[in-house]
Amino acid sequence: MRFTTARPLTGRLATAVAAMALAATPSLVAAPSAQAEGIVYPASVNDSFYSTPDDIADRQPGDVLATRVLPPPLGFPGTDAVQLKFRSTNSAGEPISAVTTVLSPQGGAPGRPLVSYQAIINALGLECAPSTALYAPNPLRGIRESPGLLIAIQRGWSLAVPDHLGPNSAYGAAKVGGQITLDGIRAAQRYAPLELADSPVGIAGYSGGGMATAMAAALAPTYAPEIPIVGSAYGGVPMDIGEMARELGESAHPAFGLAMAAALGLEREYPDRMPVSEQLNGAGRELRDRIANACTNEILLAGAGRSMADVADAAAGLALLDSPTVQEVLMENSVEKVAAVPNAPVYEWHSPTDVLIPLDAISTTLRRYCDAGVAVRTELVPSPDHITAAVIGLPGALDFLDGRFAGIAPSSDCGAL
């Protein structure tokens, strides 16, 4: 693949990425695949709840296919939990099944606000998805944003936390993530015991989860116009997935594993249009097989300090990136390049010194939304890096959604963009 000049690396970024990678002791070790060439899909989860029913094509997007009531996850006292399997749609328009975990305050009022929160899932393994991670025996492998989510539940809201990477754990595939997010909301509102049919809806997320959130907000007017979304709040979003890959891949980078994982995730979602594995050299295939079932920490550790030149032939990669089909895939999964705009107010936050994501793409996207008449608020949070900005900015995002649920007119920064 061709890469343009990357942003200069900072010691703080390298330190932060290393800290994220070492923050947990892995309980899931990715088993190397025996497959030397071709696409490597994730190992299936040994749980029949995730299986796809034979009549999936006869069901409508958002239809509930199966349910199970679970105890509250660790760290969520006073919470009711139910998982819903529902029908959604992949990037090719084909029916798929997906899962969302709905957490509600015990004794919650009917019609209470519903927030779909797209968790940070920088992963290729199905064991890393929220429906599993929330119940991981090692709490350090759980959802990183759990403390903030508990605050939201304590406000009286229900939270739907979807497995937004889908059945192939297609990291980087924002389109399918947006559609799964919207269909998960439909499922939660259709599941009568939750009493959410008349609830106002908000959507939120950060980083990769923010990418699914931003895409869902943009797709909602056409994909799910009936959902009463009052606002979307997202931070640290890689609005241009292709540009992010370029910046992480041209030279040795501590977060190169994320670029590699995104390329492999897109290949899984677009097997006929993203022939990534065909371009990998021996080292690239070894890295692919090593992270094929890995979660964030393993991916970062495996790819740290590598570059695209280490895993692929440069000339072949250049031809691949320049191919019209790959360009179409990257545009289809980059919020900045999708023509659709949200039909509800937007709250966006990021660190002004975030070198992990393309900041220009955020500004371009928000200006386009403003020009279309969308109320936009953007916050530059006092954080030196991508990681801590997630924590610092989440309270403002929750307050933004609280205002929308209360019917308060949002303020807008469009005049300054």
Model pLDDT for residues 123-151, shown as the tens digit of each residue: 999 999 999 999 987 655 567 777 889 99
**pLDDT value of position 37:** 60
Q: Can you read off the two tokens belonging to residue 296?
A: 């964030």
**pLDDT value of position 143:** 72
**pLDDT value of position 101:** 98
Read off the pLDDT band of 154 (50, 70, 90).
very high
Between 35 and 274, residue with greater pLDDT: 274
Question: Using an 8 Å Cβ cutoff, are 208 and 171 in contact?
Answer: yes
Domain ranges of the chain: 1-342
DSSP secondary structure, 107-147, as one string: TPPTT--EEEEE-----SSGGGSHHHHTT-SSGGGS-TTHH
**pLDDT value of position 314:** 62
Read off the pLDDT band of 323 (50, 70, 90).
confident
pLDDT digit string (tens) for 48-104?
999 999 999 999 999 999 999 999 998 899 999 999 999 999 999 999 999 999 999
Read off the pLDDT band of 318 (50, 70, 90).
low
Which whole number is the average pLDDT over 298-309? 91
**pLDDT value of position 249:** 65
Whether 16 shows a pLDDT value over 70: the answer reads: no
pTM: 0.90
Between 24 and 61, residue with greater pLDDT: 61
Which whole number is the average pLDDT over 337-349? 97
Is residue 13 helix, strand or coil? Answer: helix
For the chain, the average pLDDT equals 87
CATH T-level fold of 1-342 = Rossmann fold (3.40.50)
Which whole number is the average pLDDT over 15-39? 40
Please, what's the largest Cα pairwise distance for the chain?
61
Read off the pLDDT band of 415 (50, 70, 90).
confident
